[in-house]
Chain A
Amino acid sequence: MAALRAGRASAEPGTRAVRSAGVAVAGPSADAAGVAAAVAAARGEDRRRRVLVVVVGAAVAAAVALAALSFGAAGVTPDRVLAVLLGGGDRIDRFVVFELRLPRILAALVVGVAFALAGAVFQATLRNPLASPDILGISAGASLGAVWAILGLGAGGAIVAGSAFGGGLVVAIVIWLAAWRRGLHGVRFVLVGVGMAYLCGSSVAWLLARAEVREAQTALHWTVGSVADVRGDELWLLAVGTAVCGAALVVLSKALRPLALGDDHARALGVRADAARVALLVVAVALVALATSVAGPVAFVALIAPAVARRLAGRGGAAIASAAVVGGVLTLGADVAGQFAIPGFTAPLGIVTGVIGAPYLLWLLARTERTRA
């Protein structure tokens, strides 16, 4: 996170250039060519800044991942990890690195990317900064599915994951059917989504209050979200699914910027607003359902990561790539912190993301209040 902040600081001169360009536009001597040049310069600065966020974020993620590979209860030291990575090392070292540490790191990273991508798409297509899957009930639906499977069926493992996936999907479909009326309207979608979130949340609270307390605690643990046990097939499924959805978003994201201007403008620019929005949201829902079924509804990554990314990367409406990078850094950093930050104390991923991410977002919000007012 610190390095990301540094990234923002080094991007400041760019912002100033945009501002001075704005002044030039406003000045009486500005001719058409001057305006065009200023706009082009501003766009360039915006793009440069987004690229910077992505590059710095990726570097931070790589550094954290390397550090995470070098720590752990098994006591495999950094030099031996390096040896393993270079193709050497003994069998036990290889097992620790490839079977224990690497899967968890990858899982944390991919889960963060998936949630952040979904959150960015939700917020951009619905034009509400609160419209993340956590707040619109899709995560809550997945939680309800999982809690019901754990407490009602006494299930575990794949059944819980499947039930969570189904719960998230059912809620998404219900929101869809209820909010669709001659097209998809942001306010309708968001209102219905919030209603579903509370409905599912209350049902979870009720199920937890009815069950035997130890079982209820197991279910509560699931609703927090963790990547401690994600490996093997689950990890593959998650990674491939996220990659496919991510690729689909890249293709579809050309429609995002005009959509952020409003349906009428988007239509005028040749974007079929509803079709584009439906396609984008379907992909986002798939991402959330997939990530949640594997790792649980890791708290608020989908809300926090795009919000942080927007503030780091400037005004570029749909900063999908920066959101994904911020999400990955957030979850990976949070998972590492949850394991090692306090000796003798571990916390599941879902707890640490909120505890690290939310204050950072609050700090950014408080800061931009002063600088942009």
Chain B
Amino acid sequence: MNATPIPATDATPVAPPARPAAVDRTAASGRSHSARPVAVLVGSAVALLVVVAASLALGVRTIDPGEVWQALVAPDLADPDQAVVVQLRIPRTVIGLAAGLALGLAGTLIQGVTRNPIADPGLLGINAGASLAVVLCISLLGVTAPLGFIWFAFAGATVAAATVFAIGGARPVRLALVGAALTALLTPLIALVLLRDTEAFNQYRFWAVGSLTGRDLSTVAALWPFLAVGVVLAAVLAHRFNLLALGDDVAAALGQRVGVTRGAAGIALVLLCGTAVALAGPIALVGLVVPHAARRLVGSDYRWITALAVLLGPIMLLSADVIGRLVVPNSELEAGVVAAFLGAPMLIAIARSRRVAGL
């Protein structure tokens, strides 16, 4: 139990120190050490724009790109095509952006704090907490609209995350284990309610798949302050994770207040995970894959990883949503399912790569 849970992999040291690696590369190539990350960031920003455009332009209903543009600049809601863009596609795109951003950042923070490569909102008990709250609100209060779930989901997620941090404390292994134990406690409770209340199960099962539809922009309007605080905290903390990756003792010896970092990261996590699950339901794998993909693309410097996660999260979630609209004729697959089918092969590819992450 006291041994580090992450064994060293073939060629990679367990905790690659960010700066020296970058310096080596500079010395070898003679280029500025930030050239590659900058290029990756620019490329990802372009990719995000493309995905957003696709999310606005593509769907079950074929709409002329000119109409889409018209709907964006001067919407005419009497036109059914433009109404679809304004009332359906814009909201789900914005929700996808916000939820993807929250998931990507949350995953990055969780892996930074726990130093466990499989830590994500699903494993830390956060999704389970949100799910239980939603189940109880359906079963006990008779709430039926996804809009009515958001505060329950948010509250459930925050309570679960706070519990995990309160019991798990500062030690990474323990934190991950406490999260898994909490999931093990809450998941059966959810099943218990669902087995006894068919009506609640009927409502819950559609929320539990994870989707960007059936919500409108008022959810984003209600939740953006939490998202904003989470993002700012994550941005401020990013550089601290570089030292934390070397181990608590080293970080402390180098003058970092480890407890403060973990506490602040915990607050950011709670806000981001709560926002994500309230917006889109429990979406699997985005929070897990994004930090690994980012690490693979820009190396081990958490400042770059965090910046990239902000872009990769929305790219992944929105792509999943767009693909879900196109794969089944005249119907849709929920973003949560498609994200899982996108994420699993990506995770396998990352796991098989030579530079599989040591955290």
A binding-site residues for B, Cβ under 8 Å: 127-130, 134-135, 178-179, 181-182, 185-188, 190-192, 194-196, 198-199, 201-203, 205-206, 208-209, 213-214, 216-217, 220-221, 223-224, 260, 262-263, 299-300, 303-304, 307, 310-311, 315, 347-348, 350-355, 357-359, 361-362, 365-366, 369
* B173 contacts A187, C-beta separation under 8 Å: no
* A353 contacts B117, C-beta separation under 8 Å: no
Q: Give the residues in chain A near B321, CB-CB below 8 Å.
A: none
Contact residues on B (Cβ < 8 Å of other chain), bracket? 35 or more
* B7 contacts A186, C-beta separation under 8 Å: yes
Q: Which B-chain residue is minimally distant from A310 (CB atoms)?
A: B1
* B182 contacts A351, C-beta separation under 8 Å: no
* B191 contacts A203, C-beta separation under 8 Å: no
Binds A, one of B49-57, B73-81, B136-144, B343-351: B343-351
CA separation between A188 and B117, bound complex, in Å?
10
Q: Give the residues in chain B near A191, CB-CB below 8 Å.
A: 117-118, 292, 347-348, 350-351, 356
Cβ of B169 < 8 Å from any Cβ of A?
A: yes
Task: Give B51 Cβ to nearest chain A Cβ, in Å.
Answer: 20
* A199 contacts B344, C-beta separation under 8 Å: yes
* B187 contacts A299, C-beta separation under 8 Å: yes
Q: Give the residues in chain A near B350, CB-CB below 8 Å.
A: 191
* A195 contacts B343, C-beta separation under 8 Å: yes
* B356 contacts A198, C-beta separation under 8 Å: no
Task: Give A279 Cβ to nearest chain B Cβ, in Å.
Answer: 19
Cβ of B181 < 8 Å from any Cβ of A?
A: yes
Cβ of B336 < 8 Å from any Cβ of A?
A: yes
Cβ of B195 < 8 Å from any Cβ of A?
A: yes
Q: Give the residues in chain B near A355, CB-CB below 8 Å.
A: 185, 188-189
* B5 contacts A198, C-beta separation under 8 Å: no
Which among A194, A213, A221, A299 has the highest number of chain B CB atoms within 10 Å? Answer: A194
* A213 contacts B348, C-beta separation under 8 Å: no
B contact patch SS: helix
> B182-236: which residues lie under 8 A (CB-CB) from chain A?
182-185, 187-189, 191-192, 194-195, 198, 201-202, 205-206, 208-210
User: Known contacts being A187-B356, A304-B184, is A127 close to B3, with CB within 8 Å?
Assistant: yes
* B118 contacts A205, C-beta separation under 8 Å: no
* B182 contacts A187, C-beta separation under 8 Å: no
CA separation between A351 and B269, bound complex, in Å?
28
Provide a sorted-by-A list of 18 A–B residue pairs whose CB atoms are within 8 angstroms: A135-B123, A178-B351, A194-B347, A195-B347, A198-B343, A201-B284, A203-B340, A205-B210, A206-B334, A209-B208, A220-B191, A220-B201, A221-B195, A347-B192, A351-B191, A358-B185, A365-B174, A369-B174
User: Known contacts being A205-B208, A354-B184, is A185 close to B174, with CB within 8 Å?
Assistant: no
B binding-site residues for A, Cβ under 8 Å: 1-3, 5-10, 116-118, 120, 122-123, 167-169, 171, 173-174, 176-178, 180-185, 187-189, 191-192, 194-195, 198, 201-202, 205-206, 208-210, 284-285, 288-289, 292, 333-334, 336-337, 339-341, 343-344, 347-348, 350-352, 356-358
Task: Give B165 Cβ to nearest chain A Cβ, in Å.
Answer: 12
* B356 contacts A202, C-beta separation under 8 Å: no
CA separation between A310 and B3, bound complex, in Å?
13
Q: Give the residues in chain B near A135, CB-CB below 8 Å.
A: 118, 123, 180
CA separation between A187 and B7, bound complex, in Å?
7
Q: Give the residues in chain B near A192, CB-CB below 8 Å.
A: 347-348, 351
A185 in complex: contacting residue of B9, B120, B180, B284, CB < 8 Å = B9
Q: Give the residues in chain A near B191, CB-CB below 8 Å.
A: 220, 223-224, 299, 350-351
User: Known contacts being A185-B10, A213-B198, is A299 close to B184, with CB within 8 Å?
Assistant: yes
Q: Which A-chain residue is minimally distant from B5 (CB atoms)?
A: A128
Q: Give the residues in chain B near A310, CB-CB below 8 Å.
A: 1
